[in-house]
Amino acid sequence: MSSLYQNFIGGRWVPARSGRTFFNHNPATGEILGEYPASSSEDLDEAVLAAASAYRSWRLTPAPKRAEIVFRAGEIIRERKEDLARAMTREMGKVLAETRGDVQEGIDMAYLAGGEGRRMYGVTTPSEMPNKWAMSVRCPVGVAGVITPWNFPFAIPSWKLMPALVAGNTAVFKPAGDTPEMAWHFTRIFEEAGLPPGVLNLVFGSGAQVGQPMVEHPRVQVISFTGSTEVGLGINATAGKLGKRVSLEMGGKNAVIVMDDAQLDLAVEAILWSAYGTTGQRCTACSRVMVHAQVHDELARRLAERARALKLGDGLEPETQMGPLVNESQVKTVEKYVAIGRNEGQLVAGGARATDGALARGHFFQPTLFADVKSTARVATEEIFGPVLALVKIQSLEEAVAINNASAYGLSSSIFTQDVNRAFAAMRDLDTGIVYVNHGTTGAETHLPFGGTRGTGNGHREAGHTMLDPFTEWKSVYVDFSGRLQRAQIDNN
């Protein structure tokens, strides 16, 4: 019998008002993991009102005290890291080494965001007038609506909610339906850490029934969303009409450039990890390689050999190197693109579901590689979010940069070269939010800004020194102690 979970609203664990539920499944085995509230706009409204009520006192709680609770949550996460990682593997599918890293991101973010409680710098500056003080300070925005995806079900909520709470906002959290258990653990940890009732509220449910009402709710001042570009742009359109602040982290079509002087052994290792780690279900996953014509065939041979040898299976098994896709819908999406790719390039590895033995019970797909693909092909330009990699021949760095920058997305890019001049040219010219040299496209660190250009985002960045930007307003403050009226913004000369 599966466990029954509840929403967390105003400091209480409660079912959906309708009584409706949905089930959570293990993508590797099909096992039912839990039953969750299928909430509606009524539940969302209750959560928003709880957050709005809690905001009045939470914003007046000193920032160092707010941060202490976030830091305490980080300590609890650290103590439970292995249990959380195993729960995530059962729920989402990626291997334990990766889920441990996902949880570690939450720990790192708690410590980093916790530090902002005693920092949260404003700006002081001289006034143009005598006996007058001028400064600017950060202020919370209000109630934050946070919508997160299933591929990093602990790290991404950490990137959003921890800075939001430290800054003095309250929040309503809607996680992805494929990974509700990790959101339950996340919220339960903050409850244990001493977060006051109503500061963090958790509402399970669909995008239509919970996400859209959140975006439209008049008492939600800021929306932070990670997910597909299509959904993100729809959120932006709706929120824009209502004058809300929106932070979007959306799709990616990330490229590795392999020059003719690259260390191929290193490039192969990095590309395999970037393309097939998390079964290709990362926004930073490498799904295309622009490879110099002189080394294209050799790189294709090495990658195909290694891809075919990857061990697929349940991520809890220590020998597993690649887990399942998250659900059947994702399998069908990958199948569709593989069918398209067969007409756009040479299939040199994979290309079908993996159904041997126990794999037949889950959503497994073979690591797939296409070689000699045109740069304009659909498998080289559209986000697939699965273990599918396309190799595109190039003749020069300039050509590779042009192809990369023509993409609708701009999250992450990478170059393999031993030429320092090429490396610096790539660092300057690649139009993506993240650039790697002699490394794959994945592996961001929490203390640097995370985000992308073009269709990947709308200008905000998460983590790093930019973490507070989506969740704070700037207030300029002037103190005139001259004892007389001094008029600015007129000609005083």
- Report, as residue numbers or ranges, the catalytic residues: 249, 283
Phi, psi (deg, nearest 5) at residue 135: -155, 165
> Environment class of residue 424 by beta-carbon count within 10 Å: exposed (0-12), middle (13-18) or buried (19+)?
exposed
Handedness of CA 383, 386, 387, 388 (dihedral sign): negative
Secondary structure, 3-state, 224-238: EEECCHHHHHHHHHH
| Maximum Cα interatomic distance, the chain, rounded to a whole number of Å | 85
Cβ atoms of 123 and 134 closer than 8 Å: no
DSSP letters for 14-49: E--TT--EEEEE-TTT--EEEEEE---HHHHHHHHH
Q: Which two tokens stand for residue 30?
A: 């099909």
Q: Which two tokens stand for residue 217?
A: 């709710």
The DSSP element (H or E) to which 3 belongs, if any, is strand 3-4
Q: Which two tokens stand for residue 336?
A: 């569709």
Cα–Cα distance, 454 to 282 (Å, whole number):
18
Of 227, 191, 197, nearest in space to 212 by CA? 227
68 pairs with which residues across the strands?
none
Cα–Cα distance, 243 to 221 (Å, whole number):
9
Cα–Cα distance, 109 to 320 (Å, whole number):
28
Cα–Cα distance, 468 to 448 (Å, whole number):
13
Q: How many other CB atoms are found less than 10 A from the CB of residue 119?
A: 12
Cα–Cα distance, 253 to 441 (Å, whole number):
10
